[in-house]
Structure 1
Amino acid sequence: MQSTAAIVTMVRDDHFFLKAWLRHYGPIFGRENLYIVNHGRGRGVEELAEGCNIIGIPGDPHKNFDMKRWRLLNNLVMGLRSYYNHVIVGDVDELVVIDPEEGKTLLEYLEEQPIRRVLTPLGLEVIHRIDVEPEAITDTILGPRRHVRLAPHYSKPCVISAGTKIARGGHFTQYGKLFTPDCLYLMHLKFCDFPEYVAAMDRRNAVTGEIGDDIKEISIGRHWFAEARGEDRATFEGFADLEMVEGFDMRPYRRKMQRSFGPRGDTGFYNFARPDYQLQFHLPERFSGIF
């Protein structure tokens, strides 16, 4: 059994994303090293994640959902660090990916990395260009989907091997150095498929509707609310307007992260500038089929 890395997430009924998460991490790390918090004890999650470590918790809607969630995930990560060198933590629709050009698996890469660090992969949002990608997703996502949007908001410090606190949402930690390896990416899947996006947003709008308070009163991401949703098809049609950047060189964007890294006010956390880049890239062929 490997003790290099554990992978941690929390899920509530997002079966499409959970399948991708399992398909990506399971073969690399072994299901016995995957830890899934099953919010609401969904039977579908239990069935899909057979062989993983499943932690069932009550699913009652609560206005402090995000605060409670990250309190649990923080403590779970810190506990698992006693048994693993590294712990990868994040939402079920976020996958840490190593560039295939590196010639090794993510596990092999982490086996070579020093401990007592926090690694921050560069955030890329997989987008469904509905104008040029008519193919439905039946198995792997990358292949049918080959476009990504540069997304600093998802450049998260999510590979943990140091004693540190993670902020709500996973966007910041109290670790005072920035390590952002050239070969690591955090791929966000929220917009990877138009029909799945609509279904997921319907589920999340139902959760916030059940709680009944407004955005300012609830500790849940703004994007869960119907009033912040906008028109779904227009959102996806808008991806065609993003500037297409030739090539796939992300080093300049990582350098900007390094230059702007510093304390986040007096919160005890650290961050870097997160510009709203209106840029898209075409993923090189080497990424096809990796999840």
Structure 2
Amino acid sequence: MKICALTMVYRDYWALSRWYAHHGAQLGPENLFIVAHGADPQIAQICPGASVITIPRDDFANFDRNRAALLNGIHAGLVQAYDWVIRTDADELICFDPDRYNSLVQAFEKNSEFPVLTALGFDLVEMPGDAPLTEAALFSQRTNLGFSGHYSKAIASRRPIEFLLHGVRVAPRRLDSFPFAMPRGLFLAHLKYANRAVLDAVNKVRMDIANRDAPGLPGTGWSEADADAARFHDSFAEKKLIDWDKAEQKAFDTLSVKPARIEKSAIVKTRALKLPYRTRLPARFGAQG
């Protein structure tokens, strides 16, 4: 089975290095495609063997809409050459439960009857007292997490389809019948909060973009990125800590069913529910990330 992964990045070097190391180990570096938002030779240095596509960085009007249209076009082209195209942000890793699959490829092989796969998402979080990160596998160093409806996203397709607002846009006549598939044991790890030092630097870039004078810029998650991160950490610390088996079961039972089917935009996506507990990754995940 031929699987590739696609992302877009601007200077988020730490997250990109993790994205490359993780997906390169699972799929092969030659099957990774990175859209560079502005010329940046450092991306090729971080990601040897990957394909880097450079686009201009000179107009931020309608940033999210134009970014989605660009990636949807590249995604549709890659589907002609691959059985599956994985698509995430650079700070997102698609990982798997080793008790259910022996590789990421096997996870897709076992779920190939579906046109689109959605992963159960979680925020991986650096906690007070965590040691500084090294180049070792990330999941052996950061284990605290909270499952998230917002980050339980459509992450791969085996045919051309428009990814939008963390879901997919379908033909209006298929809105009620389009299959929603969240395979058990397939996860999206969101790394935004896994490295506090890097988060501070990335937030400065996000606030610079979102506070410009142009239409269609990202919302308060970017324009007030520092305050948004502070609210997240406060909320996370207050959540009840429960064991992985119970937390994963509860999150899967809640988010794998009854997707949002939005009539106005014909989008099928996970419900963006907030879950009131946190947990820790089991040691068996330690080789990933």
Conserved? CA contact 2:75–2:160, under 8 Å:
no
Query: Could you say if the C-alpha distance between residues 144 and 199 of structure 1 is closer, same or farther in structure 2, counting changes exceeding 3 Å?
Result: same
Q: Which residue of 2 aligns with 1:76?
A: 74
Aligned twin of 1:36: 34
Q: Is this contact kept in 1: 2:85–2:157, CA < 8 A?
A: yes
1:184 match: 186
Kindly report which structure 2 residues correspond to 1:1-291, keeping only aligned pairs within 5 A, or say none: 4-114=2-112, 117-130=115-128, 132-133=129-130, 135-139=131-135, 140-167=137-164, 169-174=165-170, 176-209=178-211, 211-213=212-214, 217-225=215-223, 227=224, 229-230=226-227, 235-236=232-233, 238-249=235-246, 250-291=248-289
Normalised by the length of structure 1, the TM-score is 0.89
Q: Measure how far apart 1:6 and its partner are.
A: 0.9
Is the Cα–Cα contact under 8 Å of residues 19 and 90 in structure 2 kept in the other structure?
yes
C-alpha deviations, 1:41-77, integer Å up to 9, x for none? 1121122122111100011241211111110111111
Q: Quick one: which amino acid aligns to residue 188 of structure 2?
A: L
Deviation for aligned residue 1:289: 3.4
Measured against aligned partners, the alpha-carbon deviations of 1:125-151 in whole angstroms (never above 9, x if no partner) come to 101112x42x00111322221100111
Q: Secondary structure at the match of 2:6?
A: strand
- CA distance, structure 2, for counterparts of residue 232 and residue 113 of structure 1: 35
- Between the two proteins, the alignment pairs up a number of residues equal to 281
Take 2:15 and 2:219, find their aligned partners in 1: how far apart are those partners? 18
Secondary structure class of the residue paired with 1:10: strand
* Pair 252,220 (structure 1): closer, same or farther in 2 beyond 3 Å: same
- Superposed displacement of residue 248, structure 1: 2.5
State the alpha-carbon separation in 1 of the partners of residues 225 and 203 from structure 2. 11
Q: Which moved more, 1:99-108 or 1:112-121?
A: 112-121
Structure 2 residues not aligned, in runs of 5+: none
Residues 80 and 126 of structure 1, relative CA distance in 2, 3 Å threshold: same
Counterparts in 2 of 1:237 and 1:106: CA distance versus 1, 3 Å: same
Instruction: Give 1:262 deviation, angstroms.
Output: 4.7
| TM-score of the two chains, using structure 2 as the length reference | 0.89
Percent of residue pairs bearing the same amino acid type:
25
Q: 1:183 to 1:116 in 2, by over 3 A?
A: closer
> Following the alignment from structure 1 to structure 2, what is the Cα–Cα distance between the partners of residues 238 and 72?
35
Instruction: State the alpha-carbon separation in 1 of the partners of residues 126 and 111 from structure 2.
Output: 34
Task: Report the alpha carbon displacement of residue 235 of structure 1 after superposing the two structures with TM.
Answer: 4.7
User: What letter corresponds to residue 142 of structure 2 in structure 1?
Assistant: R
- Are the aligned partners of 1:81 and 1:87 in contact in 2 as well (CA < 8 Å)? yes
Distance in 2 (alpha carbons) for counterparts of 1:116 and 1:122: 16
Q: Classify 1:266/1:103 alpha carbon distance in 2 versus 1 (closer, same or farther; 3 Å).
A: closer
Q: Distance in 1 between matches of 2:19 and 2:55?
A: 20
For the 8 Å contact 2:117–2:154, the answer to whether it is kept is yes
C-alpha change, 1:193 and 1:256, in structure 2 (3 Å) is same
* Superposed displacement of residue 266, structure 1: 2.9
| CA distance in 1 between partners of 2:194 and 2:188 (Å) | 14
SS state at 1:102 partner:
coil
Is the 2:150–2:271 Cα contact (8 Å) retained in structure 1?
no
Cα RMSD of the aligned pairs, angstroms, is 2.1
Alpha-carbon distance in 2 for matches of 1:56, 1:244: 43
